[in-house]
Amino acid sequence: MSMRNSLFALATVLVFGAGAAFAQSPGGQTPKLGKPISEADIKAWDISVLPDGTNLPPGNGTSAQGAKIYTEKCVACHAEGGKGGGAPGAGPLVGGAPLTNGIETVKTIANYYPYATTIFDYIRRAMPYNAPRTLADNEVYALTAYILALNKLIGENDVIDAKTLPQVKMPNRDNFILPYPDRI
């Protein structure tokens, strides 16, 4: 870590320094063939949402709004009420057996996911399976609300947005252990 600290400090200096100083970099001279790009120009690709809500977009949705979109765009694979099995690989979106049932218990949103932000992130990047990245952010919020309400993790009328989504407490969050903490 200290090596990277010093590299970072050195690199920061070098932005304003002469090329000759680069030769003193501990890592030696590297090609530097990356083209500078602004975060604004990366925005269309920057779709990752973090558990604390970082990078959630503006907008919102409710379960009732989500139910309509679900009927139109999701039910073919995930089946009525999110029970799954409408298509191979489309697992259930609702319910889930206790994890004490065995090591092969089907992992679901309700019995497994530590953070609700993952639902928003995955719908936005990967769904619908035949047309990823076609849902508006409000639609993603609404579908997230619909799934959370199906699982009774939020109320029927709760509004899901950048502020409320990270506050949803997922049942399995505190059940995780790290097998290799020193590798992080």
Partner 1 sequence: MLDNTGAKAQHMTCMDGTRIWRLSVREEIMSTTHRRGRAPSPDLVAGNGLINRRALLGKGIAVAGAMGTAGTITGAAAEPLKDEQWSLEFGSIMPPVQTASKYEKDVARTLSNPQGEFRNSHARTPHQMLSGTITPSSLHFSINHAGVPDIDPAKHKLVIHGMVRQPLEFTLESLSRYPLVTRMAFVECAGNSAPMFSNQPLQVTAGAIHGLVSNSEWAGVKLSTLLDEAGIDPHAKWLIAEGTDAHFLARSIPVKKAYDDAMVAIYQNGERLMPGNGYPMRLLVPGYQGNMNVKFLRRLKAIEQPAYTFFESKTYSQILPGGKTWRFHFLMEVKSFITHPSFGHSLKEPGYYTISGVAYSGTGRIAKVLVSADGGKSWGEAALQEPVLDKAFTRFQMPWRWDGQPAILQSRAWDEAGNVQPLRVEFVAARGETKQPLATPLAFPNQHYNSITSWAIDSKGEIKHVYA
Tell me which of 122, 137, 138, 166 binds partner 1, using CB under 8 A. Answer: 122
| Closest by Cα among 80, 60, 61, 83 to 70 | 80
- The helix/strand/coil state of 7 is helix
**Looking at beta carbons only, is 22 or 60 nearer to partner 1?**
22
- Who's near 20: CB < 8 A, 6+ residues apart? none
Structure tokens at 65: 């709004």
Over the window 24 to 63, marking each residue x when it contacts partner 1 by CB under 8 A and - when it does not, the resulting string is: ---x--xxxxxxxxxx--x--xxxxxxxx-x---------
Q: Which residues pair with 161 in a beta bridge?
A: 60
- Binding status of residue 22 toward partner 1 by CB under 8 A: no
DSSP annotation of 165: G
Axis crossing angle, helix 117-126 with helix 137-150, rounded to the nearest 10: 130
Tell me which of 68, 99, 136, 156 binds partner 1, using CB under 8 A. Answer: 99
Residues that bind partner 1 (CB under 8 A): 1, 4-5, 7-8, 11-12, 15, 27, 30-39, 42, 45-52, 54, 87-89, 98-105, 107, 112-115, 117-118, 121-122, 125-127, 129-130, 132-133, 172, 175-180, 183-184
